[in-house]
Chains A and B, each alone.
Chain A
Amino acid sequence: MTDVQVRLRDVEKVFPGGVKAVAAMDLDLAPGRVTALLGPTGCGKSTLLRLIGGVELPTAGSIEIEPSPRIGFCFQEPRLLPWRNVRRNVALPLELARASSEVCRREADRRLKMVGLSDAADFLPAALSGGMRMRAAVARAFIADPNLLLLDEPFAALDEVTRLRLDEEVAALVREQSITVLLVTHSIAEAVFLADEVVVLSPRPARILKRFDIPFGERHAPLRGREEFGRLQSEIYEVLLAGMGDEA
């Protein structure tokens, strides 16, 4: 299976009302690797993710994705249906694709095991903590065997400890299989921890300020304590700040 390639050329997105979220953007996502989009709030990074995911259409330019992708999404809110238990929530994408109920059940259970939620399979979302709900959302994102994973600030609403833990779990998951991942975040630490490449953006409309290659191999917790980790964070921070300073 070839890895998914995503290529944006000259992409522009103007919203009704004249807001230009994205302007003349060229962007390539490294196939089979994790790319993080890092930028200040409102710079258009979420819009880029949504354009790539087909949720929005560009007003100009082209987006090429080859081969035809199976996309998994994860948003900042878990977006679980409150009347369905966790298993049936995770199975939703397959159900909407008209898979049989045995397939749905089997695949859902498998993904739940993957994120460590097997015990909660029959619970309603209301019975879960924030972190558990997010895990369920991650499991759902994986259920259709995605080769392109779009994560839009998935852990931004969680507490620090849970966030760190989930970062680690997702980092492991995406490296087990070869998936092209786009992570939108405004946490520098998270970007450095999870991504193979960090793209730093300027305020709206986003320009690519700088790309950083993240050379670490496996991503485990101790990584955060290493000197190179801290150094990369500082460098990225400088670029980010400079980009924001230009505005002022």
Chain B
Amino acid sequence: MRSLGIILRSIWPPAVVVLILLSLWHLAVVLFSIPEFLLPTPWSVLQKMYEQWPRLIAATGRTATATLVGFGLSAVIGIVSGSILSLVPLARRGVYPLTLLLQMVPLVAIAPMLVIWFGYGLPSVIAAACIVSIFPVIAGTLDGLQSVDAGLSEMFKIHGAGRIRTWWSLGLPWSLPSVFTGLRIAAGLAVIGAIVGEFVGAFGGDRAPLGAIITSALKQNQTSTVFAAVALAAMLGFALFGFVNLVGWLLLGRWHESAR
């Protein structure tokens, strides 16, 4: 019961702000007579969400699938790559600057290539989500591994632990806070990556994920639908972010603050 109180207490300030913003939005549309195709009212967005709920929720499910798989791949490949870069100094000096490229290349430019390489539908969208979100994970992992306490490292060396063993029992747990920072950033990016990937590579019609709904609604001047889809995408991002936070708290909550 007390934790419910805590949750409510932390929710109401942002909730109030959101309500105020929504009211201002509605007011602006009414006061300035803004046509619907330019900026719909929050109410019409909600209405459209209700009207198209089955289609929108199915689309959200598809985007969520691509996002989760892409994010999962990001997490695994990112942690493994970061670890390899940490264990092999030559690789780190040579390869790490290149991973920055992953961050720099605009996804929209390579999205059509992804479709060519991986095919329409989930594969290219997953690839897009993964590529966009992987760098923070690599950086977080590498950063954590490079900053392991020197005394602890020495202790492992003294007791004859090999590099892999040290990485597993000391490096990884030590880096978890830094890894999770990277994962939190990656969560939001994965959603964006999926949506952009869907602009170019997703199936439309009955199999449309959120990105495809957005492009098709734009063509049909259905701005309310666009907003509804965008709102759902944002919620997806929040949910993933929240999930990462939860896992982080479960793994780190007991020892992290005092350790650092």
Q: Specify which chain B residues have a CB less than 8 angstroms from the CB of A125 in the assembled complex.
A: 258
Q: Is the interface of B mostly helix, strand, loop or mixed?
A: helix
Give Cα distance in the complex from A97 to B160, angstroms: 8
Cβ-based interface call for A193 (8 A): no
- B 164-186 to A, binary, CB cutoff 8 A, 1 in contact else 0: 01000110010000000000000
Cβ-based interface call for A130 (8 A): no
Q: Specify which chain B residues have a CB less than 8 angstroms from the CB of A75 in the assembled complex.
A: 151, 155
| Contact yes or no, A79 B259, CB < 8 A | no
Partner of A97, one of B155, B159, B259: B159
Q: Specify which chain A residues have a CB less than 8 angstroms from the CB of B157 in the assembled complex.
A: 55
Closest residue on chain A to residue B260 by CB atoms:
A82
Cβ-based interface call for B32 (8 A): no
| Contact yes or no, A73 B152, CB < 8 A | no
Q: Specify which chain B residues have a CB less than 8 angstroms from the CB of A79 in the assembled complex.
A: 149, 151-152, 155
Give Cα distance in the complex from A243 to B137, angstroms: 55
Shortest distance from the beta carbon of B145 to any chain A beta carbon, whole Å: 15
| Contact yes or no, A73 B155, CB < 8 A | yes
| Contact yes or no, A83 B255, CB < 8 A | yes
| Contact yes or no, B154 A126, CB < 8 A | no
Sorting the interface of chain A by its residue count into under 10, 10 to 19, 20 to 34 or 35 or more gives: 10 to 19
Partner of B255, one of A73, A97, A124: A124
A-B contact count (CB 8 A): 46
Shortest distance from the beta carbon of A219 to any chain B beta carbon, whole Å: 28
Cβ-based interface call for B254 (8 A): yes
Q: Specify which chain A residues have a CB less than 8 angstroms from the CB of B113 in the assembled complex.
A: none
Cβ-based interface call for A10 (8 A): no
Partner of A81, one of B154, B160, B173, B258: B173
| Contact yes or no, A53 B255, CB < 8 A | no
Give Cα distance in the complex from A77 to B160, angstroms: 20
Shortest distance from the beta carbon of A122 to any chain B beta carbon, whole Å: 12
Give Cα distance in the complex from A93 to B161, angstroms: 9
Closest residue on chain B to residue A55 by CB atoms:
B158
Give Cα distance in the complex from A77 to B150, angstroms: 11
Cβ-based interface call for A96 (8 A): yes
Cβ-based interface call for A92 (8 A): yes
Partner of B158, one of A73, A77, A124: A73
Cβ-based interface call for B156 (8 A): yes
Give Cα distance in the complex from A71 to B154, angstroms: 14
Give Cα distance in the complex from A205 to B19, angstroms: 72
Shortest distance from the beta carbon of A241 to any chain B beta carbon, whole Å: 32
- B 228-260 to A, binary, CB cutoff 8 A, 1 in contact else 0: 000000000000000000000000001110110
Leading 7 A-B pairs by shortest Cβ distance: A82-B259, A126-B258, A96-B159, A82-B255, A96-B161, A83-B255, A79-B151
Please list the residues of chain B having a beta carbon within 8 angstroms of any beta carbon in chain A.
149, 151-152, 154-161, 165, 169-170, 173, 254-256, 258-259
A-B contact pairs, 20 of them (CB 8 A): A55-B154, A71-B158, A73-B158, A75-B155, A79-B149, A79-B152, A79-B155, A81-B170, A81-B173, A82-B259, A83-B173, A83-B255, A92-B155, A95-B169, A96-B159, A96-B161, A97-B159, A97-B160, A125-B258, A126-B258
Please list the residues of chain A having a beta carbon within 8 angstroms of any beta carbon in chain B.
53-55, 71, 73, 75, 77, 79, 81-83, 92-93, 95-97, 124-126
